[in-house]
Amino acid sequence: MSVYDYSARSIKGEPVSLSAYRGKVLVIVNTASKCGFTPQYEGLEALYQQYRDQGLEILGFPCDQFGGQEPGSDAEVEAFCKLNYGVTFPLFEKTLVRGPEAAPLFHYLTDQAPFEGFDTQTPGGAKMQAFLQEKLPEYYEGDGIKWNFTKFLVDREGRVVGRFESTVDPASLSSRIEALL
């Protein structure tokens, strides 16, 4: 199995087989428009602009599972991303990414790249870990996605080669992306 065995619906509702991205390096990320990490859209778009001609695709999956931070319709999400962050990378329909009802793609991603913890040496990592352990301990347990803007790096063969939690800035993925291009 690889990510190419999955499909999703574009933000406009059109079916998309991820096999359409065969041979590309992918960053697959669950997003939200009203989250403290929402400014990461800017960093994701910067990565896309820098590396897309070399074969990078960023696939954004809006999700409303974490604090109701993606309340709008798909059309509203798309407009927000374009207007506020100039997003040009592909966006998909709002998607469940955690729990038994999660989209099969996200079950696959979390199976392939288990949760390894937050970098508690960073203020954001320590804060996120403490927040989840105190307020949402059921989210902290296991390998499920912990919050918005969890990023999965996929190589040109469709294999998941990295998982980066919400607190990881998109720019820090540059060297890993370059190594795969």
Task: Read off the pLDDT of each residue in 115-134 and give the average, rounded to a whole number.
Answer: 93
| Total number of domains in the chain | 1
Stretch 61-84: mean pLDDT: 96
Choosing from 35, 56, 128, 177, which is the catalytic residue? 35
Strand-pair category, 15-17 with 151-154: unpaired
CATH (domain of 73)? 3.40.30.10
Q: Which two tokens stand for residue 163?
A: 């998982």
Q: 């960053």: which residue's tokens?
A: 27
Across-strand partners of 121? none
Residue type, 171: A
Q: Are 61 and 29 in contact (CB under 8 A)?
A: yes
| Tens of pLDDT, residues 88-121 | 999 999 999 999 999 999 999 999 999 999 999 8
- Counting residues of the chain whose pLDDT is more than 70, the rounded percentage is 100
Look up residue 175 and give its DSSP letter.
Answer: H
Domain that holds residue 126: 3-180
User: What pLDDT, on a 0 to 100 scale, did the predictor assign at position 123?
Assistant: 81
Residue bearing tokens 């990592």: 125
Q: For 76-96, how does the pLDDT look when each residue is reduced to its tens digit (9 = 90+)?
A: 999 999 999 999 999 999 999
Mean pLDDT of 21-35: 97
Helix (H, G, I), strand (E, B) or coil at 30: strand
pLDDT bin (cut points 50, 70, 90) of residue 122 is confident
Residue 30: per-residue pLDDT: 98
Decide if 35 is catalytic: yes
